[in-house]
Amino acid sequence: MNATGQSVNRQDGRLKVTGAAKYSAEWSLPNLAYAVPVQSTIAKGTIESFDLGAAQAAPGVLLVMSHLNRPKLAPPETLESVGMQVGESVLPFQSNVIRFNGQMIAAVVAETYEQARYAATLVKVNYRTETPFVVMEEGRDTAKKPKGNNGREAQLVRGTPDSTFASAARKIEATFKTPHEHHHPLEPHATIASWEGDKLTVYDASQGVGGPQRALAGMFGIPATDVRVVCHFTGGGFGTKGGVWPHTLIAAMAARVVGRPVKLALLRQHMTTTTGHRPATDQVLRIGSSTDGDISAMRHDVLTDSHEPSRFFETAAFASAVLYEVPNFAMEHAVVNVNIGAPTYMRAPGEAPGTFALEVAMDELAYALKLDPVELRLKNYAEMDPQKKIPWSSKQLRQCYARGAEMIGWKDRRAEPGMLKQGRYRIGYGVATATYPGNRQAAGARVRLYPDGRAVAAAGGNDIGTGAYTVFRQVTADALGLPIEKVVFELGDTTFPAAPVAGGSWLTASVAPAAVEAAEMALQAIAALAVADARSPLKGRRVAELSFGEGRVFLEDQPKVGETLAAVVQRTGQPYIEACARAETMRAARDSGGLKQRQKPPCVLVEPSAETDRDEEKYSFHSFGAQFCKVRVDSELGVVRILDWASVMDAGTILNPKTARNQIMGGVGFGIGMAMSEETPYDPRNGRPVARNLADYHVAAHADVPNIQVEFVNIPDPHINRLGVRGVGEIGIVGVPAAISNAIFNAIGRRLRELPITPDKVIG
């Protein structure tokens, strides 16, 4: 039986539950020293001087490093030339300028962690303080309008949105707000850096080993092949571990200076300042429709904040451009630079806050028209990408709505708010649409067949808790015709064939096809060896006559004539037979000079087949889904309980229903946190985050999360890759806050357009 498509348990499950999985902070290197950062307590200004005497004299201190004595790093432009973005865009310790509260301005390195942490408290900083700019809304009039983001336009007009809206029979116009949020993965960032001569090895909590490798090589001016990054396990990322943040560079700088391996492990408090966040948004949605619900115009204007010179901004209106068939559409993104740490990608960046506005506004329109909210969405269903005017690669959203409505019991919903009562509680139902791009990147993988019949495959990608190890193991086992117990998949090392960062929901869609290609190439190598070997029962046959399965190579017509893969490997006398593959998208192949197969040691570049490999000029790639929920609102106390959830997702082929379901459950839970409690407020006087622990920043806990029903349409996307698989990492959060806000309206008739929906707003 094929392993692909089965609910196979995680390859790394036992390691994790027994504590044997080694996370980045847990490597013990001989002679390890410990670094603790010193952070700025002002948000803007300069460092005039340090008083370091006490810190330097403290027990065990090896080094106090700052802009005064650090190794010089290459200028930041170098980063872009190596294709790497350091999260903060401004490198640590390169000048005395302070740009946000919490900026790392010095680091103490000592023999023990406790000594470093104590000495760090003794560092005295003399600042020249300037008035910081903290409140986004105050910069509205001078906000910048970025042209685009990753090749997609950020300012867009199609048709005549404003005049059509002005003359529309029904109009919705509303303002929505989402706050700053932090990723807060369970595992805080940590880096251990170790130099041997000019070669650097780094254990780094990361979503991708390739990024830190390129950044460190660029910053220290050494070849990427001299930097090895290892990260076998990542305790959650959600975007915060997708880039390279200052602590990683500081650990490497400090290790260079003290001539010993250095560990820099962040505290939970550090995670609120120097490792990114989701920026706040202030969004205005305008939708115009006919009296029977045909949407004629839409405008989505976004104000958000960022941190100069970072070019990251929250692309909150992107989903609005494609989700419904809207002939006249405009979007605008305006960005205010503030003196708080740099923002970054956070689970479904853009889509998560953007669809809160869009999908609540759609609900408002449904009520204004007295239409069922599902019916309104079906009426305006986009049969093709309304912006690019090309077909979807695959879209099964109708099925998601229909099945989700059944699962939640939508027929029990009453159109009029407040009709379903349970004592002092009101019950409400809500729906929202989910979408996220179906991304894919070039990726490599290798497969080694061993003489004992086992196979070990590897790729330089990372499993950040998603199940990547497991699904890659499944597809590799099937491609090799081996039982899954005979196959191990390894990830998280730059010595493996390069693969993309685990972000953008693209890792599975990128690496799985490469793993299958590598497995097939390994079997071809076995076949070629067998037919050429006098000791093989297949000697003299043509490779085309052969077939593979159950660990054997045999004649397709006479399956009894053949031998085990292991026997072929044994006779070579080699430790293993290896094949590498690199699977590319059409765009990557075009960018790298055409579709011709190229030899690029150690990997063979596989020629993409024209019909199956994500040609984004022909097809628009998106995953879709429907989120349905049932809530209970205490209309006196404002307390909301989410009673039931149904999430139906169209993400192409589902390789492993169990791990995919985990991803959607995680996304819905994340969305419940976003909807109900998550918020990092900043002190407007000094730009300091005032929710710096998991008590003040409440992520959804078990008691906040109901039973989450998850189903997948599980129809392959015929155009993204040979497996038909898109990603499921981000789409689970999309639409969740809107579905909850819509359900609360259905329960009590109160429209909530600002996150998080805390009880004061519900009764306010």
Interface residues with ligand MOS (CB under 6 A) are 207, 237-239, 242, 345-347, 349, 503-504
Task: Show the CA angle centred on residue 756, arms to residues 751 and 759, nearest 5°.
Answer: 70
Question: Residue 346 Cβ, how far from ligand MOS at the closest point, in Å?
Answer: 5
Q: Where are the alpha helices (DSSP H) in 20-129?
A: 53-57, 77-81, 113-121
Residue 210's nearest CA partner among 46, 518, 443, 395 is: 443
Nearer to ligand MOS by Cβ, of 12 and 730: the residue is: 730
Nearer to ligand MOS by Cβ, of 37 and 503: the residue is: 503
Question: Residue 547 Cβ, how far from ligand MOS at the closest point, in Å?
Answer: 40
Which tokens sit at 402? Answer: 């229909």
- Between CA 699 and CA 319 the distance in angstroms is 25
CB 486 within 8 A of CB 551: yes
Question: Residue 304 Cβ, how far from ligand MOS at the closest point, in Å?
Answer: 15
Nearer to ligand MOS by Cβ, of 154 and 457: the residue is: 154
The Cβ of residue 126 has, within 10 Å, a number of other Cβ atoms equal to: 10
Question: Residue 594 Cβ, how far from ligand MOS at the closest point, in Å?
Answer: 29
Chain centroid to Cα 198, Å, comes to 32
CB 432 within 8 A of CB 738: yes
Catalytic residue among 181, 187, 517, 730: 730
Nearer to ligand MOS by Cβ, of 464 and 642: the residue is: 464
Question: Residue 345 Cβ, how far from ligand MOS at the closest point, in Å?
Answer: 4
Query: If you count DSSP H runs as helices and E runs as strands, how many of each does the chain have, helices first?
Result: 17, 31
Instruction: Compute the half-sphere exposure of residue 560: CA atoms within 13 Å on the CB side of its CA.
Output: 0
Q: Which long-range contacts (CB under 8 A, 24 or more apart) does 532-539 make?
A: 533/568, 533/571, 535/571, 536/563, 536/567, 536/568, 536/571, 537/561, 537/562, 537/563, 538/562, 538/563
The Cβ of residue 48 has, within 10 Å, a number of other Cβ atoms equal to: 11
- Between CA 378 and CA 756 the distance in angstroms is 28
* DSSP secondary structure letters along 237-295: -TTTTSSB-HHHHHHHHHHHHHTS-EEEE--TGGGGTSS--BPPEEEEEEEEE-TTS-E
Question: Residue 207 Cβ, how far from ligand MOS at the closest point, in Å?
Answer: 6
Nearer to ligand MOS by Cβ, of 234 and 289: the residue is: 234
Question: Residue 144 Cβ, how far from ligand MOS at the closest point, in Å?
Answer: 23
Residue 693's nearest CA partner among 80, 176, 228, 182 is: 182
Nearer to ligand MOS by Cβ, of 186 and 532: the residue is: 186
Place of tokens 């409140």: 135
Nearer to ligand MOS by Cβ, of 207 and 441: the residue is: 207
Nearer to ligand MOS by Cβ, of 123 and 464: the residue is: 464
Which tokens sit at 164? Answer: 């059509």
Handedness of CA 237, 238, 242, 246 (dihedral sign): negative
From first CA to last CA, the distance across the chain in angstroms is 58
- Report cis status (omega within 30 of 0) of the bond before 185: no
**Most distant CA pair in the chain, distance:** 85
Secondary structure (3-state) at 69: coil
Residue 738's nearest CA partner among 448, 366, 363, 458 is: 363
Residue 12's contacts (CB-CB under 8 Å, 6 or more residues apart) are 21, 233, 463, 469, 470
- Active site includes 563? no
Nearer to ligand MOS by Cβ, of 569 and 588: the residue is: 588
CB 684 within 8 A of CB 135: yes
Nearer to ligand MOS by Cβ, of 351 and 584: the residue is: 351
Question: Residue 435 Cβ, how far from ligand MOS at the closest point, in Å?
Answer: 15
Handedness of CA 406, 411, 412, 414 (dihedral sign): positive
State the DSSP H helix or E strand holding residue 660, giving kind and residue range, or none if neither. helix 657-676
Question: Residue 240 Cβ, how far from ligand MOS at the closest point, in Å?
Answer: 8
- Between CA 643 and CA 376 the distance in angstroms is 25
Nearer to ligand MOS by Cβ, of 480 and 498: the residue is: 498
Nearer to ligand MOS by Cβ, of 347 and 426: the residue is: 347
- Between CA 284 and CA 234 the distance in angstroms is 37
Q: Identify the bridge partners of residue 329 per DSSP, sorted by sequence position.
A: 158, 298
- Residues catalogued as catalytic: 730
